[in-house]
Amino acid sequence: MVRTVVMLYPGHSAEDDYELLEHLVPDAAFPVVRTWEGGTAHDVESLLALGSREHLEPAARRARAHAPDAVLWACTSGSFVHGRDGARIQSGWVGEAGGAPASSTSWAFSAAVRHLRLRRVAVAATYPADVAAHFTRFLAGDGITVTALSAHDVPSGEDAGRLDAEWLSAAARAADVRGAECLLVPDTALHTVAALPGLERELGLPVLTANQVTAWHGLRLAGHPARADRLGVLFRA
Mean pLDDT, consecutive 10-residue stretches, the chain (237 aa), reads 97 97 98 94 95 97 98 98 98 98 98 98 98 98 97 97 97 96 98 97 97 98 97 95
Please tell me the predicted confidence (pLDDT) of residue 117. 98
Evaluated on CA atoms 102, 106, 109, 110, the torsion sign reads negative
**Do the Cβ atoms of 185 and 207 come closer than 8 Å?**
yes
Give yes or no: residues 97 and 152 share one domain. Answer: no
Running DSSP on this structure, what letter comes out for residue 117?
Answer: T
Q: What is the CATH number of the domain that holds 140?
A: 3.40.50.12500
Give yes or no: residues 32 and 100 share one domain. Answer: yes
**Do the Cβ atoms of 58 and 113 come closer than 8 Å?**
no
In a domain, 18, yes or no: yes
Q: Which domain holds residue 169?
A: 109-209
**Do the Cβ atoms of 193 and 16 come closer than 8 Å?**
no
Please tell me the predicted confidence (pLDDT) of residue 147. 98
Give yes or no: residues 84 and 102 share one domain. Answer: yes
In a domain, 186, yes or no: yes
Give yes or no: residues 201 and 218 share one domain. Answer: no
In a domain, 161, yes or no: yes
Q: For the chain, give the longest Cα–Cα distance.
A: 46
Give yes or no: residues 119 and 84 share one domain. Answer: no
Running DSSP on this structure, what letter comes out for residue 209?
Answer: E
Give yes or no: residues 68 and 181 share one domain. Answer: no
In a domain, 90, yes or no: yes
Domain count, the chain: 2
Give yes or no: residues 49 and 164 share one domain. Answer: no
In a domain, 235, yes or no: no
**Beta-bridge partner residues of 28:** 3
**Beta-bridge partner residues of 184:** 123, 208
In a domain, 131, yes or no: yes
In a domain, 184, yes or no: yes
The rounded Cα 36 to chain-centroid distance in angstroms is: 17
Give yes or no: residues 169 and 182 share one domain. Answer: yes
**Do the Cβ atoms of 110 and 76 come closer than 8 Å?**
no
Give yes or no: residues 10 and 35 share one domain. Answer: yes
Give yes or no: residues 31 and 99 share one domain. Answer: yes
Give yes or no: residues 187 and 166 share one domain. Answer: yes
In a domain, 237, yes or no: no
Give yes or no: residues 39 and 123 share one domain. Answer: no
**Do the Cβ atoms of 56 and 94 come closer than 8 Å?**
yes
